[in-house]
Amino acid sequence: MSTEFHNLQELRHSVSVATKVFIQRDYSQGTTCRFQTKFPSELDSRIERTLLEDTVKTLNSYYAETEKMGGQSYLEGCLACATAYLIFLCMETRYEKMLKKISGYIQEQNEKIYAPRGLLLTDPIERGMRVIEVSVFEDRGSSGSSHSSSVSSGGSSQR
């Protein structure tokens, strides 16, 4: 099996991207932010289906909660309108708070689940909320010592 990456730091400094897979938006329920839970076939060998689906479903639930039309959003809207929206200069909106939470969640998922498998999720906000970009990393030889030693020992045994 390919080498393991032990943490996100190692991943970022030692490897390069081989390919990127994009999880598209799901518009079946309207224009609210929702991503497709269909598993991309390119990732079959890299990660278990259920892990990625769980991540996407959790993200979808966070976005749905943010964009929900409920008492709290109406209250925020009316209060903001009454102050001619000047209150947004000092206060953080509900959406912004939720985006921070989502960013933290993605970071945590990357550290725990995706980096050890050589993958990296990019926060959709950095791609215009259009796609979830999954970067698939390939080991480039100058990474962890375990890999380079296997190459050199393999090389010496070949001679």
Partner 1 sequence: MSAVMIARKVRKWEKLPGKNTFCCDGRVMMARQKGVFYLTVFLIVGTCSLFFAFECPYLAIHLSPAIPVFAIVLFLFVMALLLRTSFSDPGVLPRALPEEATFIEMEIEAANGNVPAGQRPPPRIRNVQINGQIVKLKYCYTCKIFRPPRASHCSICDNCVDRFDHHCPWVGNCVGKRNYRYFYLFTLSLSLLTIYIFTFAIVHVVMRSVDSGFVKTLQDTPGTVLEVLVCFFTLWSVVGLTGFHSYLISLNQTTNEDIKGSWSGKNRLQNPYSHKNIVKNCCEVLCGPAYPSVLDRRGLTQDDLPVPASTATQSNPVPQTTKTTAPLIPNEHTPDDAKPSIADSAIAHAEKRSPSPKKEIPPTPTKVPPLASPETDVEASVIIAKEKAL
**Contact status: 67 vs partner 1 (CB under 8 A):** yes
Q: Does 48 bind partner 1 (CB under 8 A)?
A: no
Measured CA angle at 75 (ends 70, 79), to 5 deg:
155
CB 116 within 8 A of CB 123: no
CA-nearest of 16, 97, 105 to 56 is 105
Among 4, 25, 54, 111, binds partner 1 (CB under 8 A): 25
- What 8-state DSSP symbol labels residue 20? E
Asked whether 129 and 3 are in contact (CB, 8 A), the reply is: no
| Nearer to partner 1 (CB atom), residue 50 or residue 89 | 89
Each residue 120-139 as x (binds partner 1 by CB under 8 A) or -, in order, gives: x----xxxxxxx-x----xx
Q: Which of 6, 7, 19, 107 binds partner 1 (CB under 8 A)?
A: 19
- 158 lines the binding site for partner 1 (CB under 8 A): yes
Phi then psi dihedrals of residue 131, to 5 deg: -145, 160
- Nearest CA to 15 among 159, 103, 137? 137
Q: Give the position of tokens 């990732």.
A: 43
Residue 66 in contact with partner 1, rule: CB under 8 A:
yes
**Any contact of residue 150 with partner 1 (CB under 8 A)?**
yes
Query: Which of 6, 38, 57, 140 is close enough to bind partner 1 by CB under 8 A?
Result: 140
Does position 18 interact with partner 1 (CB under 8 A)? The reply is yes
- Rounded-to-integer distance, Cα 64 and Cα 34, Å: 8
Binding interface with partner 1 (CB under 8 A): 11-13, 16-22, 25, 27-31, 66-67, 69, 73-74, 76-78, 80-81, 84-86, 88, 93-96, 99, 120, 125-131, 133, 138-141, 150-151, 153-155, 157-158
